[in-house]
Structure 1
Amino acid sequence: MNLHHLDAFLAVAEELHFGRAAERLHMAQPPLTRTIKQLERDLGADLFVRTTRTVHLTTAGQALIGPAREVLEGCRAARSAVRAAGEGQTGLVRLGFAGPSSYLLVGDLSRLVRQRRPGIELRLHSTTYANEALRSVIDGDLDLAIVRWGVQPPEIAQRVVAEEHHVLAVPEGHRLADREVVSLAECRDEPFVALAADPGSTVRDTFIRASYDAGFSPDIVQVASDSWTLMALVGAGVGLTFTLDTAVANVPRERIRVVRLAEEISPSHARLAWRRDGESPALREVLRASEEALPTPEHLVGVDLP
């Protein structure tokens, strides 16, 4: 028994006439008759009662109608699902990002993907920092990531989607809280809270380098796994933190003041990153949507950034 047999059976069962069923199937009547006989031999039961004038379903034939329709409908659904996946209408895209600094970017992209391709599931993985995210993309555990880096891995393709600036978050009431601009050199004796060294935050790396350039090694008294915790620690007066303007813009800032840095620290650039050889149809659709939802800032279009 195969799909051709079931299709032929349903045509005869619905028409109750071999001639009309053969026309419907665009075939001659004798091959249709042989197909039905083959199906009956395979099932070990007569499916039709035939006379010179009429065709009627047997009890076995009536019992086969429902299962035959389910099988053929399942086959059509399978073909449709494969076609939709191949066209990028459905699929799974796993997106990694590093918490609140990427919130607006993730939200804008998710909204447009949902509008344009509701069959694509954009599965989000937060608190995924640069080194960890890039390893996951290269290994195939993530399809796409929003990252900040110093060096682009050769396996990775990318596009800049935002420019960010480094700032200092200090507790309310701190001696620097009412300042608009602060030099890191003024903070050499201050306690700091920072992201953990692993899994590799570029913000922490930039902080360490900037502190060295300012002539001191920072006193990191507490580490945290995410920016929400960092801001809670700052608000509690545990220490200052070096962070991004996009991060502090998307977390509660009760009992916190944000001040600009006097040092000319190069801006950070948030990028969409994906494997050069890993563009599935669903990922291609998400990347296409990202060009509208997260366009490269105009002043960076065509700029060759590291």
Structure 2
Amino acid sequence: MNDLGEVGSGLERHEMEIFLTLAEELHFGRTAERLHLSGAMVSQTLKKIERRLGGPLFERTSRRVTLTPLGRQLYDDMRPHYDALRAAVQRATSAARGIEGTLRVGFLGVMSGIRAHQGAALFRERHPDCAVEVVEVQLDEYVHPLRDGTLDMLVTLVPIQEPDITIGPLLLDAPIYLATSATSPLAARASLTPEDLAGQVFPMVSDRVPQHWLDQYLPQLAAGGTPIGRTEQRCSTYQEILALVSAGKCVAIGDHQLVQYYARPDIAYVPLSGVPNLRHALVWRTAAENARMRAYVDAVTDLLRERAQAA
């Protein structure tokens, strides 16, 4: 017996799930993909249900699948009860595992925020007794909010060389762009290489951020060994960095979200080839891990799997 037991006319949870999904998709192939089953299993289960109930639930032709009146009645009656049973089981599971209270998740960058909120939505659906707060962090905060307890988890740039920090699922992995003033000769280029960084200047970032974290994306030397300078002004936020870029005082690194969310006429974003992608992952302080955090990792992992299957 499964977690919902047997309901109604001896229907088990997996049978109800197959019927309800097929009633929504009206397509055997999509139903099989959505439930990670074979098409034969979906068809065999449906025939078993129809024999048990004593009538057809779907009309099937070579071109379409539709609900019969009996199937429509069963769907309308079953759906709210099935959802209520699932919610009850999830609430009981959450309480048993201690998944309650508030989970605080931070993010660095727009796309990281979108991913964090998507994970939060699925997490809240599964664990309605636990609230989720999703807040923005700035470059100079690094992983400090995890250590001082301000945040439980954080979507930020990796790799991170910190023995007390666990690096979880990779949420973003995108090619790098160079942000430069629209009046710079670099702005007219279709693409750039690491050699083009010779003689350029990167922004100086707050000394609260360890150098090893910055060097992977803001190297000290260009490909040919020519030093890459730093601005005199230290920056704590990306908006401060872009202000210096606009003024022609430096160039900066970012990924495709610069093009999507930071488009502005005074700055050009040019693809930079021959360098590692910019990567963001979900991280947390290892010693603070708890049931809430593991459940959020599960939600994020499931969303990543769905996105990969849809690609």
Q: TM-score when scaled to structure 2?
A: 0.57
Give the direction of change, closer, same or farther, for the CA distance of 1:250–1:107 in structure 2 (3 Å limit). Answer: farther
Report deviation, 1:277. Answer: 4.9
Q: Percent identity?
A: 20
Tell me by how many angstroms 1:239 deviates: 2.5
One-letter amino acid matched to 1:250: Y
Which range is displaced more, 105-114 or 204-213? 204-213
- Aligned positions of 1:49-64 closer than 5 A: none
Q: How many residues align?
A: 217
Q: Is 2:245 aligned against 1:234?
A: yes
The aligned counterpart of 1:144 is 153
Cα distance in 2 between the residues matched to 1:183 and 1:190 = 13
The aligned counterpart of 2:267 is 256
Contact kept, 8 Å, 1:235 with 1:254, in 2: the verdict is: no
Q: Which runs of no fewer than 5 residues in structure 2 stay unpaired?
A: 1-90
Structure 1: runs of 5 or more not aligned: 1-80, 300-306
C-alpha spacing 1:151/1:199, structure 2 compared with 1 (3 Å): closer
Matched to 1:132, the amino acid is Y
Per the alignment, in what secondary structure is the counterpart of residue 265 of structure 1?
A: coil
Query: Does structure 1 retain, via aligned residues, the 8 Å contact 2:139–2:236?
Result: no
Asked if 1 retains the 8 angstrom alpha-carbon contact of 2:245 and 2:251, the reply is: yes
Structure 2 distance, partners of 1:255, 1:233, is 11
Superposition RMSD in Å: 3.5
Query: Which amino acid in structure 2 is aligned with residue 279 of structure 1?
Result: E
User: What is the CA-CA distance between 1:122 and the residue it aligns to?
Assistant: 1.9
The corresponding residue for 2:31 is: none
> What SS does structure 1 have at the residue aligned with 2:203?
strand
Q: Which one has a bigger Cα radius of gyration?
A: 1
Q: Distance in 2 between matches of 1:162 and 1:188?
A: 28
The alpha-carbon deviation at position 244 of structure 1 amounts to: 2.9
Q: In 1, Cα distance between the equivalents of 2:111 and 2:241?
A: 13
Distance 1:296 1:159 in 2: 14
CA deviation profile, 1:177-206 (whole Å, cap 9, x unmatched): 121111333343334335334324766322
Distance across 1 between alignment mates of 2:152 and 2:182: 41
Alignment CA distance shift 1:220-1:105 (3 Å): same
Report the secondary structure of 2:131's partner residue: strand
C-alpha offsets along residues 70-112 of structure 1, whole Å, 9 cap, x if unaligned? Answer: xxxxxxxxxxx99964445522112233233522222322332
Given the two structures, how large is their TM-score scaled by the length of structure 1? 0.58
Query: Could you tell me which amino acid in structure 1 is paired with residue 152 of structure 2?
Result: D
CA distance in 2, matches of 1:98, 1:202: 18
- 1:246 maps to 257
Report what 1:192 is aligned to.
Answer: 202
Kept in 2, the 8 Å contact 1:96–1:124? The answer is: yes
Q: How does 1:62-73 map to 2 (within 5 A)?
A: none
Q: CA contact under 8 A between 1:164 and 1:269: conserved in structure 2?
A: yes
Counterpart residue type for residue 267 of structure 1: N
CA contact (8 A) 1:86 1:281 kept: no
Contact 1:93 1:283 in 2 (8 A): yes
- 1:289 paired to 2:284: no
